Amino acid sequence: MLTIGSTVLGVNDVARATAFWHAALGYVPREPGDETWVTLVPASGPGAQLALMLSETPAQDRPRIHLDLYADDQAAEVERLVSLGARRVDWDLYPEDADFVVLADPDGNRFCVIDKSPR
């Protein structure tokens, strides 16, 4: 049987990406990384791992794989992430009643902030 160990994002600057995702998620390096690779894990308790890998390939405008981050207060989390260096993405594929907002991290990797508040 297989299980998913980590989701890996290609980044231009591992240190900058580590700082962003640490501030965004509170994740910390599992072990010391270097300028080419680091694996981030929740500071305490279980959770998905996020690995950051140095990449020379540009981020895709319409990625085939992306992160979905769940938020109880979507608007506040979007503003917080933008203040940390994320940017809003002009996404033309929003459905009429979208429960998500598309952002990009400092390296241009797209991710969604999903509204998980009671409706």
As a whole number, the mean pLDDT across the chain is: 95
Burial of 109 (C-beta count, 10 Å sphere; 0-12/13-18/19+): buried
Q: For 65-83, what is the mean pLDDT?
A: 97
* pLDDT over 90 (residue 75): yes
Look at the block and give the residue holding tokens 């992430």.
81
pLDDT at 89 exceeding the cut of 90: yes
Decide: 14 and 33 in contact? Cβ < 8 Å. yes
- pLDDT for residue 51 is more than 80: yes
Answer yes or no: is pLDDT of 119 > 80.
no
In this prediction the pTM is: 0.92
Instruction: Check residue 113 and report its DSSP letter.
Output: E
Q: What is the structure's pLDDT at 65?
A: 92
- C-alpha–C-alpha distance, residues 4 and 37, integer Å: 18
